[in-house]
Amino acid sequence: MIVEKEIPPTGSGQEHARVQLRSVDLNLLTVFDAVMQEQNITRAAHLLGMSQPAVSNAVSRLKVMFNDELFVRYGRGIQPTARASQLFGSVRQALQLVQNELPGSGFEPISSERVFNLCVCSPLDNALTSLILNNVNKVAPNTHLVFKSCLNQNTEHQLRYQELEFVIGYDEFRRPEFACVPLFRDEMVLVASTGHPRLLGPLKESDIYHEEHAVVSLERYASFSQPWYDTVEKQACIAYQGMALTSVLNVISQTELVAIAPRWLAEDFTKKLNIQILPLPMKLNSRTCFLSWHEAAGRDKGHQWMEELLVSVCRR
């Protein structure tokens, strides 16, 4: 009797990878994605339609699979380890690629009831929020847009876990995991009351900093005014710090303070306030507006649709 020996697979590492992949329960990756988003086992279980023990069991199996704790207790929730954070983008993109190919997974703007969370940073919110809302309502009347107008220390976290889907602002997210598309460049100008007694003739940068200034509070995260007041000497000329550029312009219209603002906003306020617009004699006399998102979100068809709409609506 001839006994045939089983011949082990030979060849490329690709074959070994296929064998290894067959041993993995890929359903665990959907659990990982939900737990990363919610950072709470109970909420993740609700999101997945699973029991809490089942999700906890899946997390235990994930820890064995990746040879890492993945999540540690933090307050009433859990916090991802460095390894979990590293895995999240790749897992999210892989799941999204699969989901995009499933029947009925396309995005239909006219019938979608999806909620999009956006941050349109002040002062850009004055010009862009209504523009975005009106254009989205025309083509996707059942979608719901939720806006906020300022960045905070958690913005990168919110983008990474898609609690926030897009940011439109003057600040560029420079890490490789974020995508940034330039939309337009805004000219910056000096704004003062029309009766200001000293702003006569051509001005130099030193002339500007001899005046008292009104600014958006430098204590605000990613303050609009911060780039022009990056030294103690420059900060010494600040006499008023407001929470928004609109209040800053209102103050300078009634005083001898001056402010730096985008030309489009200043021109809009000349119709309402007693202000004049002067060229800004500084190296930083324009700023680029960016549309930013986390790359892990970029495979989602609804996200892609909104990205294209925002670019087409906001580019000047």
The answer on pLDDT for 216 being more than 90 is yes
State how far the alpha carbon of 73 is from the alpha carbons of 39, 52, 76, 205, in Å: 10, 16, 8, 53
Give the C-alpha separation, 91 to 296, whole Å: 9
Give the C-alpha separation, 286 to 86, whole Å: 36
Q: How many CB atoms lie within 10 A of CB 6?
A: 5
Q: Is 120 within 8 Å of 132 (Cβ atoms)?
A: yes
Pair of tokens at residue 2: 């001839």
Confidence of residue 38 (pLDDT cuts 50, 70, 90): confident
Mean pLDDT of the chain: 89
User: What predicted TM-score, i.e. pTM, was given to this entire model?
Assistant: 0.78
Give the C-alpha separation, 3 to 283, whole Å: 83
Confidence of residue 52 (pLDDT cuts 50, 70, 90): very high
Residue 82, sorted as left (phi over 0), alpha (psi -120 to 50) or beta, turns out to be alpha
Residue of higher predicted confidence among 314 and 107: 314
Give the C-alpha separation, 299 to 96, whole Å: 6
Check residue 237 and report its DSSP letter: T
What is the percent of the chain where pLDDT is above 70? 90
What is the model's pLDDT at position 75?
A: 81
What is the model's pLDDT at position 105?
A: 61
Confidence of residue 297 (pLDDT cuts 50, 70, 90): confident
* Amino acid in position 157: H
Cα 18 off chain centre by: 36
The answer on pLDDT for 3 being more than 70 is no
The tens digit of pLDDT for each residue in 123-173 reads 999 999 999 999 999 999 999 999 999 999 999 988 988 889 999 999 999
Q: Name the least confident of 3-12, 128-137, 153-162, 240-249.
A: 3-12
The answer on pLDDT for 11 being more than 60 is no
Give the C-alpha separation, 247 to 273, whole Å: 11
What is the model's pLDDT at position 224?
A: 97
CA atoms within 13 A on the CB side of 68: 12
Calculated CA dihedral for residues 288, 291, 294, 299, nearest 10 degrees? -140
Give the C-alpha separation, 165 to 247, whole Å: 28
The answer on pLDDT for 298 being more than 90 is no
The answer on pLDDT for 7 being more than 80 is no
What is the model's pLDDT at position 106?
A: 66
Cα 307 off chain centre by: 12
Q: Name the least confident of 19-23, 161-165, 180-184.
A: 19-23
The mean per-residue pLDDT over the stretch 186-199 comes to: 96
The answer on pLDDT for 69 being more than 90 is yes
Q: Name the least confident of 26-30, 103-107, 184-188, 263-267.
A: 103-107
DSSP 28-68: HHHHHHHHHHH-SHHHHHHHHT--HHHHHHHHHHHHHHHTS
Pair of tokens at residue 126: 């004055």
